[in-house]
Amino acid sequence: MIKEVLEVMTALAAEGRTMVCVTHEMGFAREAADRILFMDAGRIVEDAAPAAFFSAPASERARAFLDQLIAH
């Protein structure tokens, strides 16, 4: 079911539709997002383009989160 939902959302993004999406699916976020907002304890700690967020996150919390994903 998750795969199907992500496929529909990816298609909508490709059509230029605007969406606000909360996800832990980083592959989807990297592919579909124009902008990544990363939150920690209810506060936005990073606001970046996907390429910048995934290659060089500015916040320590985002770096730790991405490092943990890579480790698994």
Q: Global pTM?
A: 0.80
pLDDT digits (tens, 9 = 90+) for 16-40: 999 899 988 899 899 889 999 999 9
State which residues form the domain around 44: 2-71
What is the count of structural domains for the chain? Answer: 1
Instruction: Give me 49's structure tokens.
Output: 């383009």
Contact 36, 17 (CB under 8 A): no
**Mean pLDDT for the chain overall:** 92
* Distance, CA of 64 to CA of 5 (rounded, Å): 28
The residue ranking higher by pLDDT, 11 or 70, is: 11
Q: Residue 72 pLDDT > 80, yes or no?
A: no
Across 11-15, 43-47, 51-55, least confident range: 11-15
Look at residue 3 in the predicted model and tell me its pLDDT.
86
Cβ atoms within 10 A of the Cβ of 56, count? 10
